[in-house]
A and B are shown apart, each in its own frame.
Chain A
Amino acid sequence: MSGYQDKIKEVALRLLKDGSVDMVIGFRKGTLPMMNEPCFIRRPEDVHQLVWDSNCGINLANYLTDRKEKIAVVAKGCDSRNIVTHIIENKIKRENLHIIGVPCQGMVDKRRIISEFGDTLLDVADDGENLKIKIHGSEKSLKKTDVLQSNCAACIHRNPVLFDELAGELVPEQAGVDRYAEVNRVEAMSPQEKWQYFEDLLSPCIRCYACRNACPLCYCPTCFVDESRPQWVGKSQDPIDIRTFHFLRAYHCAGRCTDCGACERACPVGIKVRQFTSKLNKDAFEMFGWEAGMTLDERPPLDTYKPNDPNDFIK
């Protein structure tokens, strides 16, 4: 971990000094345990702020949208796939980017730790393998692999797919993980159970749109939920309007979502919003053999036509 951090700083310093980039986008230490804040560094003397540990779950591709500067960006496996998607969708130019790839071993699910230890958590130290949890007067050690975000625990693309240099050795990809376990569980339900499951899932939603805004894919100038002429969806706490927002948000991410988990991580009330996108990810994989952001050389399945596209749903 600290090896990554040193390397990130070293690269950042070099790039800023030799003027090959205008800014470096990475993380700095936050003011709370398990929180790092996305930041930009423009001056070599600020490079020391950069950090890297298991609390860098925010997707930095989100901070690249439409930027015109020359930027070095720190990117985990999923971030790099969203960068690829951004490049394909013309949201950023490849030649303006210097990607510092970080082979990733998963991000910690801070919500799980907070729900276990309460809001009185004082500090969480991370040595790469273990987390040392400090609460009033006592300490506890947890194995990091036991408290990963659920998308990270089932991730099979930990290594960046696109990078200019790496912050560390590539890591072995996980094998034998079931990425769609949750989707399969819901698929097995009856329509009524499914309806109820999502009803319950979304019941705490306050429509803050953190899930949408944390996602690099959601860059529309005006989101359909915000449109008022015409107004597509009501703006109150009506459960049908809330559901409409959620499933349409997911549809807009179909064939583009990298399962980075930023949406789920951002939700203030802990809604598993990936329950929507995971289903589409599974469909994209099963119907088109597609995983988003793996290559710059292929158009996503939903903006291309192939004669063998599955179409038996059209009657």
Chain B
Amino acid sequence: MNLMEHMGIEPGRLQFSWISSAESTKFVDVVKTVTASVKALGPNTTYNKQAVKVA
């Protein structure tokens, strides 16, 4: 994750969580916070492969 951010991925776009199958509420919370933080960052415009340009 550090290297990803080092090469220019915005902090918050890549996140790691450890959720047991029993932790349903944690799962919901994590999905909410991740979605919110990624939405706040907006679409990923950098690390995103574009279709091949054809002359």
Interface residues of A (CB under 8 A from B): 183, 186-187, 191-198, 234, 236, 238, 240-241, 243, 247, 250-251, 254, 276, 279-280, 283, 313-315
Contact = CB atoms under 8 A, between A and B. Distances in A.
B7 A238 contact: no
A192 B30 contact: no
22 contacts: A186-B6, A191-B8, A191-B11, A194-B5, A198-B8, A234-B49, A238-B49, A238-B50, A240-B48, A240-B49, A240-B50, A247-B3, A247-B4, A247-B7, A250-B3, A279-B2, A279-B6, A280-B2, A313-B1, A315-B15, A315-B16, A315-B33
Given A240-B48, A247-B4, A279-B6, 5 more contacts: A183-B6, A195-B9, A247-B3, A250-B3, A313-B16
B17 interface: yes
Contacts of B16: 313-315
Task: Tell which of A236, A241, A283 has the most Cβ of chain B within 10 Å.
Answer: A283
B41 to A, nearest CB: 9
A240 B47 contact: yes
Interface residues of B, number: 23
Contacts of B2: 279-280, 283
Main SS at interface, chain B: loop
Interface of B: 1-11, 15-18, 30, 33, 46-50, 52
Contacts of A194: 5-8
Given A251-B3, A315-B16, A243 B10 contact: no
A246 to B, nearest CB: 8
Contacts of A279: 2-3, 6
A236 B30 CA distance: 37
Q: Is the interface of A mostly helix, strand, loop or mixed?
A: helix
A190 to B, nearest CB: 9
Contacts of A193: 8
Nearest to B51: A238
A198 B7 contact: yes
Contacts of A314: 16-18
Contacts of A196: 8
Nearest to B33: A315
Contact of B5 (A191, A192, A238, A250): A191
A189 to B, nearest CB: 8
